[in-house]
Amino acid sequence: MSDSTVARYMGAARDRISTPRGSIVAREMVEGISNTFAVEPRLIEVTKGVYCYAGGSISIRTMIDAPEGLVIFDTGDDIEDGERALAAFRTLSDKPVRAIIYSHNHYAHGTVPFLAGQDDVTIIGHALVNEHFKELATGFATGGDFPEAMPALTARFLAQFGSVLPESGPDSGFAGTIPMGKRRGTVPANRLVTDGEVLEVAGLRMQFFTEHFSDSEDTLTAWVPELGLVLNNFLWPSLFNFYTLRGDVWRNPASWRDGLRVIRDLAPAHLVNTHALPISGAESVREALDGYIGAISFLIDQTLRGINRGMGPAELREFVRLPKALAQCPHNGETYSEFSFFPPHLYHHVFGWFDGNAAHIHRLPPAEEARRIIAGFGGADAVAAQCRAAAEAGEALWALQLADYLLCAQPADAARRQLKADALREMAYRSPGTIARHFCLTEALALEGKVRRPVAVLPTVDDIVAADPARYVSFQRIRLDPDKACNAQMTLRLHIEDRARWFALAIRHGVAEFLADAAAERVPAHAELRLSHRTWAEFYVGKTTLAQALDSGAASTGDRAAVEAFFACFDAPVLDSE
């Protein structure tokens, strides 16, 4: 069976190496990644007329030299990323780009450079891809069922991809990194396809599959029979990231597995992937797919087996471990995510937070629990001594747990913050995958005051202005503080003057109800506030206060005291760091 979490993080540390940037990483991470993922930019010829640009970023871009021009599969993470890929492809061909295919919405943001003034390029995507673009346009991360949570989701996105880590040195990011400040060059798809649909694309017959999805519901697979080629986002260079620590929409492992089966049944000779290095040779392709399918099936079946034996999420982390034969498949390496993250997530999808142990229905608050545990150990000095002893013995996981108790009881204590930072750094250096490594290092550096760890990342003023004004007026409701509102019952009507839109927020019983348009105009209001969409955006993100907007004339009202009393019931914007 594969290694357990306890074995990896308790006991002697495994080999670690320093990368050219100085990053300290587990040797198994570097060796595993190099088998399936390009860490340096290069062009790869898959078969005649099919080339991949790999290693330029987290995604691979593909160019097909088709009879009527070039077909591009994915364009990249941002404009600069797209420009790099285009420059590489232009060393091979100067033909015009005739079509672009999006595997999903994540790597469709380098499109603008590929169009180069052309207005006749067919851009092919899943039927849902443009809806995902709309969501992305209003924030850095998608909010899933609750887009109001985007600030927190975006902050965790930045932690996962090492966006605030140093550029060099032992704590710098490695492999799965995405820089901040990206300029998106997204262009919506102009040809949406359905499952099984066949199109003639730049002189090549292609079939598209959309029924199943991997990490996004708009996943698109393309089959080019003439070339024996499949282009896909199902086979990754490491374990399927069924659950990502940053949080996201539900990723169904059964759909991921079934999408792989569709590809396997096509029996392609060449497999081009969104992240993993391309594979050629029908037998090699099938072997990789079978190993990946097997790992997902094992996860599903053994987690459900454990559930039916009465196990909770903590037990499942150790119970469901890949057999050696599956763990040794190159694409099943834990270089991105760790297998132990997945069984608890599937459990929570079945049952929610309750693990079946009645002792866990009600728990002491974390700080109170920590204080009592520390007292039971004989006091803070005794716990700190045991924490240091555990660290010296290589018991990184136990050292981290003890340090966490200490810090939970006194969050501002500098010595306790350093204890936890040291334990997190050791966990990071042992991690086989980039996700856990980046989260641990981001928190460690934040505890030491060396970086600002994002807690919530608000949209920019321009993001808000580009969206429907209803979106962020509605989002104001989740800032209501019920203690401040007390028994208040009042309604504020807002007129976004340059959009000629009326909205209202009605506070009743500690809840703020949002009303729009005709409903907002009809509701009896205690006060009205008139302002532009941009002024609302600046107020929403904290770039201006209500008093400043009113004093400058950017906002106006007939009853300033009532408006100020209304907004006093709400939290101020959460800033982007601790």
Cα 244 to Cα 204, 247, 327, 453: the distances in Å are 36, 6, 19, 18
Check: CB of residue 58 under 8 Å from CB of residue 162: no
> Can you point out the beta strands (E) in 28-128?
42-47, 50-54, 61-66, 69-73, 97-101, 122-126
Give the lowest-confidence range in 132-146, 239-253, 287-301, 303-317.
Answer: 132-146
C-alpha neighbours within 13 Å on the C-beta side of residue 468? 10
Distance from C-alpha of 554 to C-alpha of 143, rounded to nearest angstrom = 31
Instruction: Give the separation between CA 8 and CA 2, rounded to whole angstroms.
Output: 10
Residues of the chain with CATH 3.60.15.30: 37-137+186-344
Secondary structure of residue 206 in the 3-state scheme: strand
- Between the alpha carbon of residue 530 and those of residues 42, 215, 317, 556, 560, the distances in Å are 55, 42, 54, 5, 11
pLDDT of residue 127: 97
For position 561, what pLDDT does the model report?
97
- Strand ranges across the sheet with 555-556: 511-516, 501-508, 490-496, 527-531, 555-556
Q: Is the pLDDT of residue 478 over 50?
A: yes
| CATH class of the domain defined by 461-567 | alpha beta
Q: Which residues pair with 493 in a beta bridge?
A: 504, 528
CATH match of 366-447 with 1.20.1440.230 = no
pLDDT in tens, 159-191: 999 999 999 999 999 887 877 767 889 999 999
Span 66-85, mean pLDDT? 96
Contact 72, 125 (CB under 8 A): no
Residue 457 has pLDDT above 50, yes or no: yes
Q: Where in the chain is the domain with CATH 1.25.40.880?
A: 366-447
Portions of the chain given CATH number 3.30.1050.10: 461-567
Q: How confident is the model at residue 578 (pLDDT cuts 50, 70, 90)?
A: very low
If you average pLDDT over residues 26-35, what whole number do you get?
89
pLDDT digits (tens, 9 = 90+) for 320-336: 999 999 999 999 999 99
**Is 80 exceeded by the pLDDT of residue 4?**
no
How many helices and strands, by DSSP H and E, does the chain display?
Answer: 23, 20
**For 537, how many CA atoms within 13 A lie in the half-sphere containing its CB?**
17
pLDDT per position as a tens digit, 262-275: 999 999 999 999 99
The architecture that CATH gives domain 37-137+186-344 is: 4-Layer Sandwich (3.60)
The CA distances from residue 100 to 77, 185, 193, 506, in Å, are: 15, 13, 13, 47
- Give dist(CA 223, CA 566) in Å, integer: 57
CA gap 279, 447 in Å, rounded: 43
Q: How far is CA 126 from CA 46, 166, 197, 336, 448, in A?
A: 25, 37, 11, 26, 45
Note the pLDDT tens digit of each residue in 36-66. 999 889 999 999 999 999 999 889 999 999 9
Structure confidence at residue 248 (pLDDT): 86
Q: What is the pLDDT of residues 329-356, one digit of tens each?
A: 999 999 999 999 999 999 999 999 999 9
Q: Please list the residues that pair with 501 across neighbouring strands.
A: 496
Backbone CA torsion sign across 512, 518, 523, 524? positive
